Amino acid sequence: MIGSWQQPSLYSSTTKTSSEMDRAWVYLVTGGCGFIGEKIVEVLSQQDYIKEVRVFGSVAREEVEKFTTGTENVLRACCILNIPYVVYTSSIAAVGPNTLHEPMFRANEDTKYSGEVELPYGKTKAMAEKLVVEVSGKKVQKSMVAPAVLQHRMGRREMVRKTPQLISKRVPENTEHNYTYVGNVAWMHVLAARNLQLKPDLLAEQVCYSYDDTPTRKGFLIRHQLLSSVNPSVRLGSHIPYWKMWLMIQLHRIIRVILYPFWKPQPFLNLSLLNTVVTTFSYETDKASRYFGYKPLFTWKESKHRTAQWLEAAAGNLEQPQLHEKNS
């Protein structure tokens, strides 16, 4: 989440507008030490119209742990301190798939999709979105970005080093999901925040899906390409039918019940997640381009290459690439 407000500035630049010559923007990024947040901070720090970037990240302290809903506290603080603009980072999981696992095929931000979200993560994101919408009618003008990130959950060193030799195709080949490179997600956040300040009447209370030219089909092929670049021994296995995966999950649950408390194996997959994985849930949009001139900062070829570098860095083979190597 990005919050922004103006402070008096002692400097000016010929590249700034007359109003910006007198006042400069200060940005606060909550969750700024997280995966997406640190990339947003990196891109924000390159913008010459910003006076200061402040970062807040949760830590294991008693005074932080006592708060139960982070988004609610941030919005309350914005109202109290008269912070006028907020860009909230949501997730496509807040939309669906629903408990009936109905597909959504290449929809856009205005597509009607009903039903209750099943996964806990999606439920909490949907609740947070509702809070943001309620507050935006009072004092804070907001915009939302809903990303599904290409590098998400793929970066722990242990995961790279212990990559399985065989990647199974659990997802049917005709299933579509959207992924977006994290550098492009960060760039969209920065553009959304900037243009929310410049065009509040147009962008206030708008929702934009995050997108680039990452392929939407056959996500297991993308995973294989990326992981095999780090570990050439990784190969692509055959497709596992849904009924076999369902049976394995049920058997695992029974074994856990029987052997509890002597053995507590961690579930490798649950039924809700399996149903989400095999359900087509994709979107096709150019709203961010139309509303605030967004264009991906990195092509799919560059995104794939940089993600492979990032995975190699996670394995300890080289340094992680920085987003500022390619400017806007």
Q: Which of 14-18, 145-149, 176-180 has the lowest mean pLDDT?
A: 14-18
Q: What is the mean pLDDT of residues 21-47?
A: 85
Provide, rounded to the nearest whole percent, the portion of the chain with pLDDT above 90.
25
Task: DSSP for 86-99, please give it.
Answer: EEEE--GGGT--BT
Does residue 319 have a pLDDT over 70? Answer: no
Residue 14: per-residue pLDDT: 30
Q: What is the pLDDT of residue 133?
A: 82
Range in 1-15, 131-145, 271-285, 310-324 the model is least confident about:
1-15
Contacts of 203 (CB under 8 A, 6+ apart): 141, 143, 192, 195, 196, 291, 292
Reference 298, options 216, 209, 179, 175; nearest CA is 179
- Residue 189 has a pLDDT of 92
**How does the average pLDDT of the chain come out, rounded?**
79
CATH placement of domain 2-322: 3.40.50.720
- The rounded distance, in Å, linking the Cα atoms of 189 and 44 is 9
The predicted structure's pLDDT at residue 167: 56
Structure tokens at 19: 């109003």
Q: CA nearest 170: which of 240, 79, 104?
A: 240
Q: Which helix (H) or strand (E) holds 53?
A: strand 50-56
Q: In which band, very low, low, confident or very high, does the pLDDT at 53 lie, cut at 50, 70 and 90? A: very high
d(CA 90, CA 208): 10
Q: CA 208, CA 214: separation in Å to the nearest integer?
A: 17
Does residue 21 register a pLDDT over 50?
Answer: no
**Mean pLDDT calculated for residue range 187-204:** 89
Which tokens is 247 given? 């049976």
The residues spanned by each domain of the chain are: 2-322
Sequence-separated (6 or more) residues with CB below 8 Å from residue 115 = 96, 98, 99, 100, 102
Assess whether pLDDT exceeds 80 at residue 11.
Answer: no
Who's near 3: CB < 8 A, 6+ residues apart? 27, 28, 30, 74, 78, 83, 85, 86
The answer, yes or no, to whether residue 192 has pLDDT greater than 80, is yes
Residues 262-295 have pLDDT tens digits of 877 776 678 888 888 899 999 999 999 999 999 9
Q: What pLDDT score was predicted for residue 28?
A: 92
Beta bridge partners of 104: 281
**What is the predicted pLDDT for the residue at 290?**
95
Q: How confident is the model at residue 59 (pLDDT cuts 50, 70, 90)?
A: low
User: What is the per-residue pLDDT across 91-143, written as a single tens digit (0 to 9) for each?
Assistant: 888 898 999 999 999 999 999 998 888 888 899 988 988 888 888 666 566 66
> Position 123: which residue type?
K
Cross-strand pairs, 87: 2, 143
pLDDT for residue 295: 95
Query: CA-to-CA distance for 264 and 257, rounded, in angstroms?
Result: 9
Please give the average per-residue pLDDT across 192-207, as a whole number. 88
